[in-house]
Structure 1
Amino acid sequence: MAFKTQDDGDDVMGEINVTPLVDVMLVLLVVFIVTAPLLTQAIHVNLPKTAETAPPEEKAAIYLSVDAQGKVFLDKQEYPVDAIENELKNRKAADPELALNLNADDAVQYGTVAKVMSSIERAGVTKLSVLTIPN
């Protein structure tokens, strides 16, 4: 702590200079602003294979499958992608505890699976299991 006395000829300041601190913070802010978008858009993701999991044994679930050509099957019966939502709503009305297992081929386009999952959500199905194969 610096005190000023009558005999002192030197002027001692007891204040902190915050200008260097502000400069460092602004540089860090600019660095984060520039690098944040690059980190989120430049990462290429290869989805991992998962360990095999079994659906809960509560009761028999309906199987919804999407093959490599993008065809959608509900319990081995083929449906157009646009008709899945209505069919699931009908089955949900008949059974409010409807459970659904989703099987999607590895080669199917992501957009097709996204449309099917969106239809499942809009139909009100809350019990969904996405099935995979073991490594």
Structure 2
Amino acid sequence: MIHIRHADESPHEASEINVTPFIDVMLVLLVIFMVTAPLTTVNVPVDLPSSTEKPAPRPDDPVFLTVKADHGLALGEDDIAADAMPAALATATKGNKDERIFLRADKTVDYGTLMGVMDKLRAAGY
């Protein structure tokens, strides 16, 4: 008897990797990490000492220097030129270089402009 072998009957090797078990393991690990992540935050109970120091009093007449959106300067409510800032500050602080200057800026003012004004304040001695 002659036996004809068909292609269906031959044992063939699996040429593809079955990734389903790998995905299952990864999903289980993901769930485990999601459940345990909130528990790993550090909550150290600390009894902080209370301070007996009084808060620093706010000055009666604070000096506000404002950098406006158009990069112009205002001292209090009055507009000033950038080159006139040291003289205007000397007048506003009555010559006291140790007085605190409150610097405000519009939210559209870039960091470089604000730092330039701070450098001018430092150069003026404040």
Structure 2 length-normalised TM: 0.47
- Structure number, greater radius of gyration: 2
Normalised to the residue count of structure 1, the TM-score between the two structures is: 0.44
- Larger relative CO (CA 8 A, sep 6+): 1 or 2? 1
